[in-house]
Amino acid sequence: MYSYLALGDSYTIGEQVSSQDNFPHQAVSLLQKKHVDVGEPVIIATTGWTTDELAASIREHNLVEKFSIVSLLIGVNNQYRGRSVENYREELEQLVNQAVGFANGKPENVFVLSIPDWGVTPFAEGRDRQKIAMEIDAYNAAKKEITLAHKCHYIEITESTRKNGTDPAYLAGDGLHPSEKEYAIWAERLADEIEKQLKK
């Protein structure tokens, strides 16, 4: 049986949706339907976490086990708090290295998801949506560069959140976080990449 570690923030735990509806659980469910035997995801994620807070929690968990698959989705709170891309780049580099370590030194088993654009959601009413989009693009450019330099998989989900971020069906009740319908899109992209990788 394959094991799966999901590292992140509110987008990984699925703030305001049931745990079974977050994208790690939905991805596992899709893989199991395709007869890829993946166990329950181990999730280290909390709403509001930045890169350094995730890193601190990883240290506190003192994880020694290795995983067949690791996903990483982090950075929106760095952008929200106005931190620099340079600082993000530095801390993300360390997290990607850690993720590869958790994947038993196999970068090809690490899947990094792009940062969603919360600036299109009702929550961002009255804020500079264009500035948020530009900052998220800059963060994602750094994220993609680091991910590919480490030979990990980069999974693009930002455009989907921009397309669906004004549709209540794709949003949780807070008008900020995704609903299970949006997570289903991410889960499908992730499950497809994982399946391709594991069947190599």
Query: Domain extents for the chain?
Result: 4-198
Burial of 105 (0-12, 13-18, 19+ CB in 10 A): exposed
Radius of gyration from C-alpha coordinates of the chain: 16
The average pLDDT across 37-49 equals 97
What is the pTM for the complete model shown? 0.97
14 pLDDT above the threshold of 90: yes
The highest-level CATH class for domain 4-198 is alpha beta
200 pLDDT above the threshold of 90: no
User: Which is it for the CA torsion 67, 94, 133, 124, positive or negative?
Assistant: positive
Which percentage of the chain shows pLDDT scores above 90? 98
27 pLDDT above the threshold of 90: yes
The average pLDDT across 147-151 equals 98
Give residue 199's pLDDT band: very low, low, confident or very high (50, 70, 90). Answer: confident
Give residue 194's pLDDT band: very low, low, confident or very high (50, 70, 90). Answer: very high
Nearest Cα neighbor of 143 from 119, 118, 111 is: 111
Q: How far apart are CA 31 and CA 190, in angstroms?
A: 10
